[in-house]
Chain A
Amino acid sequence: MKITRILILLSAAAMLTYGICNREYLAVWRKAATICLECIGIG
């Protein structure tokens, strides 16, 4: 159990770091900071 938790924690940290290095947060921000037409039933 402990090893699984550590592996998941490391995977999460690695994914977040890779995402930040690739500036994926900008894509998240772009989507989140504009009105999502799909969410409101237009697009």
Chain B
Amino acid sequence: MVKRKLVQICTALLYNGNFAGFTDGNIWNGSSKNICLPGLNCYSCPGALGACPLGSLQSSLSGVFLRIPFYVLGFILFFALIFARLICGWGCLFGLVQELLYKIPTPKLQRNRFTYLLSYLKYFIALIFLLLLPLAFYHFTGSGVPAFCKFICPAGTLEAALPLAFFKPQIRELLGQLFIWKLTLLCLTVLTAIFIYRPFCRFICPLGAIYGLFNKISLFGMKVNAVKCINCDRCMEHCKMDCRHVGDSECIACGECRKVCPVKAISLGKKF
């Protein structure tokens, strides 16, 4: 799994290649910012070279003019068709942060019936915070709000709010109760990630929910050789996500199941 860690680190560096931003606190405003990145990565991070797909999706439903974001949806569909949740496992900085936190040696809470149920929460969050709340704000106040970014996203707090507050005193002065709420959520996420494997990805992330819908038809991902498989279920015993089967909507293609398969029936690669 060193290879996966290496890919995760490389994509994190690629997403956030504006290293000068981490020294002066100025965000990148080059033309690459009109391209959506595959993974969750706040575009207000001083290092970010591209746009966050979730933020871009919500920005079309915020403000006084609503529009269907064809351009952003096109990117998301494209990434979903090719990689789906493989992006979560191999190309998400916030996922990497949670995995590193999980390495801290403490007692761990394994997946159970409750975490299975909780894994459906991200679909409700996606529906409510990406669609219903922005539309409700628009209906009642005349201006939509990027509700997930504003009220939940701990990646934005970690990657953007903290570095910007550190570098820019004028931003520090403006931080109020909303920031305290988001900082609390970030602290909760960090604490939980020490004891539970990737809690944000499993229970909260709307991008993971969207990509998960495409896991079965994506071009790349985990696949099982049905002829070789002896149904021993060791793959599911070792899975840290809330998968019922290899490659289902919860699978992030981390490859843990592949390592323990006694007959080498599981592989990662193209599915076409």
- Size class of A's contact patch? 35 or more
Q: Is the interface of B mostly helix, strand, loop or mixed?
A: helix
A residues contacting B by CB (< 8 A) are 1-2, 4-5, 8-9, 11-20, 22, 24-29, 31-36, 38-43
Q: Is B150 in contact with A38, judged by CB distance below 8 angstroms?
A: yes
B residues contacting A by CB (< 8 A) are 27-31, 33-36, 42-44, 48, 50-52, 55-56, 59-60, 62, 67, 69-75, 77-78, 80-81, 145-146, 149-150, 153, 156-157, 160-161, 164-165, 171, 174-176, 178-183, 214, 217, 219, 272
Q: How distant is B143 from chain A, measured CB to nearest CB, in Å?
A: 11
Q: How distant is B26 from chain A, measured CB to nearest CB, in Å?
A: 9
Q: Is A40 in contact with B160, judged by CB distance below 8 angstroms?
A: yes
Q: Is B36 in contact with A12, judged by CB distance below 8 angstroms?
A: no
Q: How far is it, in angstroms, between the C-alpha of A8 and the C-alpha of B78 when the chains are bound?
A: 8
| Known contacts A15-B77, A34-B29, A40 near B51 by CB under 8 Å | no
Q: Which 4 residue pairs of A and B lie closest in terms of their CB atoms, listed nearest first?
A: A19-B71, A16-B74, A15-B74, A41-B179
Give A29's nearest chain B residue, CB to CB. Answer: B34
Q: Identify which of B31, B72, B179 contacts A40 (C-beta below 8 A).
A: B179
Q: How distant is A22 from chain B, measured CB to nearest CB, in Å?
A: 7
Q: Identify which of A18, A31, A35 contacts B56 (C-beta below 8 A).
A: A31
Other A-B pairs beyond A28-B56, A36-B149, A39-B160, 15, CB < 8 Å: A11-B77, A17-B74, A18-B70, A18-B71, A22-B71, A24-B70, A27-B60, A32-B48, A32-B52, A39-B42, A39-B44, A40-B165, A41-B181, A42-B176, A42-B178
